[in-house]
Amino acid sequence: MTSPLEQKIRITGPSIVTANRTADGAVIYRNRTNGWSTDLSHAAVVRNADDARALLAEAAADDVGAVGAYIAPVSVKDGETIKPGNLREHIRQRGVTIDLLPVSA
């Protein structure tokens, strides 16, 4: 498999690095202090391919703590509120868009 770092990195706007936590699979974001957070508002935002590559390299180096790090688009409102940039990331952040349990149960 091609490592994510060997793949061509193209970003078209503000981006973050996200992964799943190894122990429980929870959605995590690479934060501004070289660690991970489950809170998107703590994510480190990058705006060009070089910074994205560096952030991804740092994230991918933590093979014990996180699985499958990749770059994902976000939007940044008023210079600070970070929102997922697509539906997939929205669902990862907010959870499933359905009632979890059968409604009649």
List residues near other proteins by CB under 8 A. 1, 20, 22-27, 63-64, 67-68, 86-88, 91-92, 95-105
Pick 77 or 96: Cβ nearer other proteins: 96
Shortest Å distance, C-beta 81 to other proteins: 20
Shortest Å distance, C-beta 79 to other proteins: 24
15's tokens:
């981006």
Shortest Å distance, C-beta 44 to other proteins: 21
Please tell me the distance from the alpha carbon of residue 70 to that of residue 60, in angstroms, as a whole number: 8
Pick 80 or 98: Cβ nearer other proteins: 98
